[in-house]
Homo-oligomer: A and B are copies of this chain.
Amino acid sequence: MLEKVDLSLAVKNNEYKENIKTLEVKLAELQRKAWELKIPVIFVFEGWHASGMREDINRFILPLDPRGYDFYPMTLECYEDALKPFLLHFWALTPVRGRIAILDRSWYSRAIIKHFRKEQSEEKLGRCLEEINWFEHQFSDNGYLILKFFLHISKKEQEDRLKEIKKKGIPLILDGYEKKNGKENGKEIDFINEYNEYLPVVENVLEKTDMSYAPWTIVEANDRNFAALKIITTAKQAIESHIEQVTRTPVQQTIKYLDIPISKLPELNGSVLDKVDLSKTISSETYDESKKFYQQKLETLQYELFKKKRSMIIIFEGWDAAGKGGDIHRLVEELNPRLYRVVPVGPPNDIERAHHFLWRFCEGIPKAGHITIFDRSWYGRVLVERVERLCSEGEWKRAYREINEFENILTGTGAVILKLWLHIDKDTQLERFKNRQNDPDKSWKITEDDWRNRSKWNEYKIAVDEMLQKTSTVNAQWIVVESNDKRYSRMKIMKTVTEALEKELKT
């Protein structure tokens, strides 16, 4: 993509001055309009070292209202980030609807630098790019406008500019650079890079990630005026056409009712839940023994997980009153609180709602060596949000793929994912609801929501069955836990977690 670029393009000072003011006013106006329409925008700047990114970005952000954008200068991957999938860092930075995120280098530089550090084989770069495509696709699907600029200069131009920078004594402003004394993993950080060596890799990256939903704009940056004008003009046009698109087809509504009630959909699929044997029980003695046995094992295994730098995500989903709280309690009773975390998931707040639905879970994803237990999770999208019509049909249908990709990103960096559906029958639920109501210490646990959910049992059942089918993937299987008998349920969970850890840590 870079070979045929005409780097002789230039714009004279007076031409630049004539045009820039109008464009700046227009851009500011578009920013306000995007804010009103709640369109989230991501601008990615990449380019050669010394291609003038700092000047161009400063020119670009000056006309913008600082209340509406966030600027993220590149940082070297910090230790914390390195303990999590590399895209999560960026996932967390994505803007709320209506805001603009401007990235001065991004996931692309991370992927390229990783590649050159030989931390990654050719194959691994490919995998990174695949994950990047999933990521950008998901955000585009969620209404994000993604624009990517690559600032291109010639080798000769780069050399001249580097001399100039050195002469002026301008330091390299790169977060984490000094900390590592210019080294990462003991290797020199080579930003004054070998142009010829980088070129084919950059070409490969640009080519594999130039998507209609997130296109690359190559900016001829030998001439500053030309570059600045091209960036602002491209941005202006892209926002305009995105606004036009959004206002033509009305903005996707978050709440959209299905035409036919879910309960009337034909049941052409077999039900996983129907085949679960809920009569399983164990005796109190067997339970006490196995509890002691597994809790001791788990105490040891958590340290193994820590030493081997693996991580674990345990997702608890299930019917109301299926016993999630008690099950989690038994599971963590002997664990070290520095290594595990329980993340309870309720309805999203306003800020979370204004993000991609997976955004709010980024923070809870465990670092290498740690365990996170999600008490409810991102599966709310295809359960409560589907049944209660809190998202559109398109949104929950798309969510199966989005969740699978997200989990694939997590397991790709060594996370073990266990997904537990705690299954009880309707009678057992009723009995437990009544018990809770009659117990003064527990009555706070039961709310009208619980009764309302119960009245939609059949709709939930269809949603659960579809979820179990569509999101049981090779590396992240669902396990249905028979939970009519609390002891059986607890024992099975402790056993399942123990065995999963033993299996994973053996290799």
Residues of A participating in the B interface, judged by any CB pair closer than 8 Å:
25, 29, 32, 54, 57-58, 61-62, 65-67, 71, 73, 78-80, 104, 169-171, 173-174, 176, 179, 303, 306-307, 329, 332-333, 335-339, 341-344, 346, 349-351, 375, 441, 444
Contact = CB atoms under 8 A, between A and B. Distances in A.
Given A58-B337, A173-B339, 15 more contacts: A25-B441, A29-B441, A54-B337, A58-B335, A62-B333, A66-B343, A66-B375, A78-B78, A78-B79, A78-B80, A79-B176, A171-B306, A173-B306, A350-B350, A351-B351
A46 B157 CA distance: 58
A54 B441 contact: no
A303 B337 contact: no
A57 B335 CA distance: 11
Nearest to A309: B178
Contacts of A173: 306, 336, 338-339
Given A78-B79, A303-B171, A337-B73, A342 B58 contact: no
Nearest to A444: B32
A15 to B, nearest CB: 21
A339 B173 CA distance: 8
Contacts of A307: 171
A344 B79 contact: no
Contacts of A336: 54, 58, 173
Contacts of A57: 337
A109 to B, nearest CB: 14
Contacts of A171: 303, 306-307
Given A66-B375, A73-B337, A338-B54, A303 B170 contact: yes
Nearest to A335: B58
A66 B342 contact: yes
29 contacts: A25-B441, A29-B441, A32-B444, A54-B336, A54-B337, A57-B337, A58-B333, A58-B337, A62-B329, A62-B333, A66-B342, A66-B343, A66-B344, A66-B375, A67-B344, A71-B337, A71-B341, A73-B338, A78-B78, A79-B176, A104-B337, A169-B303, A170-B303, A171-B307, A173-B306, A173-B336, A173-B338, A173-B339, A174-B338
A307 B178 CA distance: 10
Contacts of A335: 58
Binding site secondary structure of chain A: mixed
A303 B171 CA distance: 7
Contacts of A71: 337, 341
Contact of A104 (B169, B303, B338, B351): B338
A302 to B, nearest CB: 9
A153 to B, nearest CB: 18
A333 B65 CA distance: 14
A335 B55 CA distance: 9
Nearest to A62: B329
A80 B337 CA distance: 24
A54 B349 CA distance: 32
Contacts of A375: 66
Contacts of A174: 338
A491 B104 CA distance: 30
Residue among A173, A339, A350, A444 with max Cβ neighbours from chain B (10 Å): A173
Contacts of A441: 25, 29
Contacts of A67: 344, 346
A71 B372 CA distance: 13
Contacts of A329: 62
A65 B65 CA distance: 42
Contacts of A54: 336-338
Contacts of A25: 441
Nearest to A26: B441
A337 B104 CA distance: 9
Contacts of A341: 71
A288 B344 CA distance: 58
Nearest to A345: B67
Contacts of A343: 66
Residue among A25, A79, A104 with max Cβ neighbours from chain B (10 Å): A79
A238 to B, nearest CB: 21
A337 B78 contact: no
Contact of A337 (B61, B176, B342): B61
A291 to B, nearest CB: 15
A272 B233 CA distance: 48
Residue among A338, A341, A441, A444 with max Cβ neighbours from chain B (10 Å): A338
A73 B176 CA distance: 24
Contact of A179 (B79, B344, B351): B79
A174 B339 CA distance: 10
Contacts of A169: 303
A158 to B, nearest CB: 19
